[in-house]
């Protein structure tokens, strides 16, 4: 199944080998900028990171590279039109901000003084997400150099935001504001990972997210559990019974209407998931969990990738300190998050939750519900021509069959899908051991260069197999 | 049904009227001592309160009145033997410490500067419990003066503790240490209340208490609800399902063995409860609750007085702050309290809980249970001769039928019952509006003097109708 090594591959690899050192020097320079969006004292660094990237993209050859201000941290936008007006337009998404990091968190070296140990580059942001943004710069240059083009095979756009690690609070508004310039036939997100070093994979979807806080009110104040216990409704008990009622005996979500519209897994997709070398015990180690539990009739991978969920993120009520306090609490709260899959409408789910909760409560317990802004799910059809191109490009680079995954989490990519009306694809080369958000974050240099190589093949493959559909 | 006013009653009332002013002056002096046991800076006041009471009891005529030290605040013990060696021995229990109070909490006058407004004496401790301890001093003197005795009709003992408002941490040890001197045929607790001003009542039992904290452990750390949600057990959900499983659809506690030994209400007791002028809406107002909920087949009063319960005092797990955090929490906790009724053994209940909890949890959730020291329930048989005496004494004082209540809460009285092997009776004249633990605590002066009068009749009635059973 491995791709034959052809002369184009030889050319790309030679080009990359020639430019590897300079590419890594540049990346190291960028990684030295502690662009921690969560910390106000690092705001100048986040701005410096944006400026650095915009300058570097110009140097790479992008005719347009701009820093886009937001009410928070700036994003970087770059554009390199193809000479072929009918070429498809591809928007690459990533981010230049990073998670906080300090040596004393358990780093073996300074998080913002990148260092190569073995075949790994250690630095905060090495994998999440500067390394994965940056491989496209050498990728597009390799694409041009090895094909003799002066412009990319596709209209190439980049949007690299600066607040992803802070929850992207201004991202949707930014995309809406610049929707015309960002218009694309497909979005390629380079902020994800692969199954493992040995198993290159393409992610075909992310779950959506609807979050809800439910506050339950019982007695007007905490009351004595001796004087009144056993005779009045207890909001902590009501909260517990509400949570217990969330799932039926098959661990299916029991809220009527919750599953409305869910796109069921096809047999083909289930086969593709089953092809992955999944080791449940290893996965449990990663999860730090001591057991599996989920919807009956689905495998663990199907549960986290392709099935919607209801999870309790927090529950609280009454006295939680040391010792005891014999009260019936006045109130209790539950924070729920619902992961959504393709076909589910977050607003419909919110309505279903709103309609369901009051009926679960005894008389004398009043509820208040509030929802955070929801994130839609996204799913790329397996037969989408752009997805086929990504798979072919990765296959050429990795010389091994590319498999399919999905992502259980949710992300700002869904905003791009929503606002731009374009399918979202995922091209990431990070592996689970890269330590996102953790001490000693690193990127595997071999994989990073495979990312460059994939990028180099991708734009030509897209140009060859896909046209802009007006 | 009202008692005929006889010459003995006349004599007692005359005596009380003559000594009313001095009695109230003394009580006011005691109430000026801010014996707040919960506040270390008031420790000298609690000692002063004990010294004051011991001196006053000597002045009253008690041959023995001692301050008993504990590792915390001191108690006061006094003894006045009867000349009749075969007279029964009665131990009166109360406490001389008070709840914290400050003018700015909403008091209309200084809490430790007692003031009479209308027919009420306002001060912290006026009802809980100094007023109710103190009525016995004038009561026993009226008993002697109007019967021509030089010693009480019973062997009278008083134990007035100094840490009741702080959970009586050293009380049981104190009772065990002095068990020989405290030995009694009955314990009379004067630290409770009556149904209302118009309805004098005797409490015939208190519920016991077993408290349990359950900690549930899931993943070794909080994990991402996107990456893992829907596929691993969530300890917050497990805690909720555990709480939900505590009760069946009839609101009965579903733990096997929980009801073992429960002394069921007799038809006569249910009739007695039903005789009380219970107004559910008024009771709900007191409870500050907006609905009733409890075990099927029992009235509200039966539920709070005579049925065991399982209540959640606290529940917690995961993120409870503002906004959202998409985690599966690593752990969750539940604090439960079980009120117990006569016939239930706290240790048996603890064992039943321990045996039940693990079976409620999914694989991958580990539990830790810890129990606080339990309090046993107590129940006085309706036909107990000492109870009959209390009822007759109250009936003479109040000139209205005395009805029966129980108490839903639990208290140190159970330790006296346990250690001394004596039945516990309750003689209290406080009413719900007295504001225990609240601002503007007060005692109704008319009721306080009815307490004196009841005490005056009680010792003679006991001597007449009951003998020490060796």
Q: What is the DSSP string of B61-124?
A: T-SEEEEEP-SSS-EEEEEE--S-TTS-EEEEEEE--B----GGGT-SS-TTS-EEETTEEEST
Whether the CB of A215 is below 8 Å from some CB of chain B: the reply is no
The answer to whether the CB atoms of A209 and B326 lie below 8 A apart is: yes
Give which of A199, A223, A167, A178 is closest to A77, Cα–Cα. Answer: A178
* C-alpha dist (Å) from residue A40 to A29, A43, A73, A100, A168: 22, 5, 10, 11, 15
Sheet-wide strand order for B120-122: B115-117, B120-122, B442-444
Mean pLDDT of all residues in B360-381: 95
Whether the CB of A219 is below 8 Å from some CB of chain B: the reply is yes
Integer Cα distance of A336 and A243 in angstroms: 9
pLDDT digits (tens, 9 = 90+) for B205-241: 999 999 999 999 999 999 999 899 999 999 999 999 9
In Å, how far is B374's CA from the nearest CA of chain A?
A: 12
Best probe of the B interface among A191, A209, A229, by most B CBs < 10 A, is: A229
CA torsion sign, B382 to B387 to B390 to B396? positive
First to last CA, chain B: 35
Give which of B162, B154, B138 is closest to B59, Cα–Cα. Answer: B138
- What is residue A470's predicted lDDT score, i.e. its pLDDT? 64
Percent of chain B with pLDDT over 90: 91
Judge contact between B383 and B142, C-beta under 8 A.
no
Integer Cα distance of A316 and A319 in angstroms: 9
The answer to whether the CB atoms of A295 and B324 lie below 8 A apart is: no
Neighbours of A116 (CB within 10 A): 13
The answer to whether the CB atoms of A293 and B232 lie below 8 A apart is: yes
In Å, how far is A437's CA from the nearest CA of chain B?
A: 12
Judge contact between A109 and A122, C-beta under 8 A.
yes
pLDDT digits (tens, 9 = 90+) for A367-403: 999 999 899 999 998 999 999 999 999 999 999 999 9
Shortest CA distance from B306: residue in chain A: A230
Q: A15: which residues sit within 8 A by CB, 6+ positions away?
A: A141, A142, A145, A146, A456
Integer Cα distance of A183 and A177 in angstroms: 12
- What is residue A323's predicted lDDT score, i.e. its pLDDT? 86
From chain A, pick out residues whose CB is under 8 angstroms from the CB of B335.
318-320, 324-325
Tokens describing residue B217: 């452990």
Q: B209: number of CA atoms within 13 Å, CB side? A: 30
Q: What is the DSSP string of B288-303?
A: T-S-----TT--HHHH
- More confident: A314 or B3: A314
In Å, how far is A415's CA from the nearest CA of chain B?
A: 17
The answer to whether the CB atoms of A329 and B308 lie below 8 A apart is: no
Mean pLDDT of all residues in B181-193: 96
Q: Where in chain B is the domain with CATH 3.40.630.10?
A: 7-206+378-465
3-state secondary structure of B46: helix
Best probe of the A interface among B214, B227, B229, by most A CBs < 10 A, is: B229
The angle subtended at Cα B462 by Cα B456 and Cα B464, nearest 5°, is 105
From chain B, pick out residues whose CB is under 8 angstroms from the CB of A237.
243-244, 246-247, 311-312
* C-alpha dist (Å) from residue B39 to B34, B35, B98, B100, B440: 10, 9, 10, 8, 20
Integer Cα distance of B135 and B139 in angstroms: 6
Whether the CB of B252 is below 8 Å from some CB of chain A: the reply is no
| Site of tokens 């075909």 | A204
Integer Cα distance of A420 and A187 in angstroms: 9
| Site of tokens 């791709």 | A3
Size of interface A-B (CB pairs under 8 A): 299
Whether the CB of B285 is below 8 Å from some CB of chain A: the reply is no
* C-alpha dist (Å) from residue B270 to B17, B275, B402: 39, 9, 16
- What is residue A411's predicted lDDT score, i.e. its pLDDT? 84
Whether the CB of B333 is below 8 Å from some CB of chain A: the reply is yes
In Å, how far is B266's CA from the nearest CA of chain A?
A: 19
Tokens describing residue B421: 């092997």
Give pLDDT < 50 ranges for chain A: 1-3
Integer Cα distance of B457 and B281 in angstroms: 36
Percent of chain B with pLDDT over 70: 99
Containing H/E element for A248?
A: none
Neighbours of B396 (CB within 10 A): 24
The answer to whether the CB atoms of B312 and A317 lie below 8 A apart is: yes
Integer Cα distance of A52 and A70 in angstroms: 17
In Å, how far is B284's CA from the nearest CA of chain A?
A: 9
Q: List, in sequence order, the alpha helices (H) in B263-399.
A: 267-275, 280-287, 300-306, 346-356, 385-398
Confidence of residue B470 (pLDDT cuts 50, 70, 90): low
pLDDT digits (tens, 9 = 90+) for B48-84: 999 999 999 999 999 999 999 999 999 999 999 999 9
Judge contact between B425 and B112, C-beta under 8 A.
no
- What is residue B6's predicted lDDT score, i.e. its pLDDT? 78
Strands B155-161, B89-95: parallel, antiparallel or unpaired by DSSP?
parallel
Integer Cα distance of A265 and A277 in angstroms: 19
Give which of B211, B210, B217, B209 is closest to B368, Cα–Cα. Answer: B217
Whether the CB of B376 is below 8 Å from some CB of chain A: the reply is no
Burial of B71 (0-12, 13-18, 19+ CB in 10 A): exposed
Domain covering A208-262+308-371 in this structure, CATH number:
3.30.70.360
Confidence of residue B178 (pLDDT cuts 50, 70, 90): very high
Q: Where in chain A is the domain with CATH 3.30.70.360?
A: 208-262+308-371
From chain A, pick out residues whose CB is under 8 angstroms from the CB of B221.
288
Whether the CB of A5 is below 8 Å from some CB of chain B: the reply is no
Q: What is the DSSP string of A35-78?
A: -BTT-GGGHHHHHHHHHHHHHHHHHHT-SEEEEEP-SSSPEEEE
The answer to whether the CB atoms of B243 and A241 lie below 8 A apart is: yes
- What is residue B5's predicted lDDT score, i.e. its pLDDT? 53
ipTM of the complex: 0.90
* For residue B426, pLDDT beyond 70: yes
Integer Cα distance of B410 and B15 in angstroms: 36
* For residue B3, pLDDT beyond 50: no
Integer Cα distance of B289 and A364 in angstroms: 7
Integer Cα distance of A262 and A248 in angstroms: 18
Whether the CB of A244 is below 8 Å from some CB of chain B: the reply is yes
The answer to whether the CB atoms of B309 and A365 lie below 8 A apart is: no
Q: A59: number of CA atoms within 13 Å, CB side? A: 12
* C-alpha dist (Å) from residue A279 to A33, A192, A274, A275, A335: 38, 21, 11, 12, 31
Whether the CB of A308 is below 8 Å from some CB of chain B: the reply is yes
In Å, how far is B68's CA from the nearest CA of chain A?
A: 27
- What is residue A5's predicted lDDT score, i.e. its pLDDT? 53
Q: What is the DSSP string of B402-457?
A: -EEEEESS--THHHHHHHH---EEE---B-GGG-TTSTT-EEEHHHHHHHHHHHHH
From chain A, pick out residues whose CB is under 8 angstroms from the CB of B234.
311-312
The answer to whether the CB atoms of A366 and B327 lie below 8 A apart is: no
Whether the CB of B314 is below 8 Å from some CB of chain A: the reply is yes
Helix, strand, coil abundance in chain A, percent, nearest 5: 40, 20, 40
From chain B, pick out residues whose CB is under 8 angstroms from the CB of A303.
230-231
In Å, how far is A55's CA from the nearest CA of chain B?
A: 35
Say how many residues make up chain B: 470
| Site of tokens 């006061």 | B76
Tokens describing residue A323: 């010792």
Integer Cα distance of A71 and A215 in angstroms: 31
Question: What is the third-level CATH fold of B7-206+378-465?
Answer: Aminopeptidase (3.40.630)
Sheet-wide strand order for B403-407: B378-379, B201-206, B403-407
Q: Point out the residue among B318, B364, B408 whose CB comes nearest to the CB of A314.
A: B318
Strands B208-217, B331-340: parallel, antiparallel or unpaired by DSSP?
antiparallel
Confidence of residue B323 (pLDDT cuts 50, 70, 90): confident
* C-alpha dist (Å) from residue B134 to A158, B57, B323: 84, 9, 54
């Amino acid at each position: 199944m491995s791709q034959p090594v052809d002369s184009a591959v030889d050319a790309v690899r030679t080009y990359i080998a020639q430019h590897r050192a300079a590419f890594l020097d540049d990346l190291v320079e960028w990684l030295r900028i502690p662009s921690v969006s969560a910390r106000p004292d690092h705001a100048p660094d986040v701005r410096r990171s944006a400026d650095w990237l915009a300058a570097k993209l110009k140097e790479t050859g992008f005719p347009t590279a701009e820093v886009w201000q937001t009410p928070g941290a700036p994003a970087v936008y770059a554009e390199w039109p193809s000479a072929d007006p009918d070429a498809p337009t591809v928007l690459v998404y990533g981010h230049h901000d990073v998670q906080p990091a300090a040596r004393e968190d358990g780093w073996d070296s300074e998080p913002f003084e990148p260092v190569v140990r073995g075949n790994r580059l250690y630095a905060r942001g090495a994998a999440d997400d500067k390394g994965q943004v940056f491989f496209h710069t050498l990728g597009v240059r390799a694409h041009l150099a090895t094909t003799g083009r002066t412009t990319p095979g596709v209209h190439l756009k980049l949007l690299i935001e600066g607040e992803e690690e802070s929850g992207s609070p201004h991202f949707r508004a930014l995309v809406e504001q610049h929707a015309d310039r960002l218009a694309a036939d497909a979005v390629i997100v380079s902020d994800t990972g692969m199954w493992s070093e040995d198993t290159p994979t393409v992610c075909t979807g992310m779950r959506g997210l609807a979050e809800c806080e439910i506050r339950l009110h019982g007695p007007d104040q905490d009351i004595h559990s001796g004087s009144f216990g056993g005779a009045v409704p207890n909001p902590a008990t009501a909260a517990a019974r509400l949570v217990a009622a969330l799932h039926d005996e098959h661990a299916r979500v029991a809220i009527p209407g919750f599953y409305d519209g869910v796109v069921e897994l096809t047999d083909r997709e289930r086969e593709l998931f089953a092809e992955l070398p999944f080791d449940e015990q290893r996965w449990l180690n990663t999860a730090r969990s001591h057991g599996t539990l989920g919807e009956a009739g689905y495998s663990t991978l199907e549960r986290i990738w392709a099935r919607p969920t209801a999870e309790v993120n927090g529950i609280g009520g009454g006295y939680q300190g040391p010792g005891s306090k014999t009260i019936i609490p006045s109130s209790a709260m539950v924070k729920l998050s619902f992961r959504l899959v393709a076909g589910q409408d977050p607003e419909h789910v919110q309505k279903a939750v709103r309609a369901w909760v009051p009926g679960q409560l005894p008389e004398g317990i009043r509820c208040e519900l509030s929802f955070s802004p929801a994130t839609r799910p996204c799913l790329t059809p397996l037969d989408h021509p752009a997805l086929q191109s990504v798979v072919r490009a990765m296959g050429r680079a990795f010389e091994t069959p590319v498999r399919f995954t999905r992502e259980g989490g949710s992300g700002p990519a869904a905003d791009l899908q929503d606002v731009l009306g374009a399918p979202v694809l995922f091209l990431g080369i990070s592996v689970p051991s890269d330590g996102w958000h953790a001490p000693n974050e690193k990127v595997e240099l071999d994989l990073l260069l495979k990312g460059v190589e994939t990028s180099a093949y991708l734009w030509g493959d897209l140009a060859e197999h896909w046209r802009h559909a007006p």
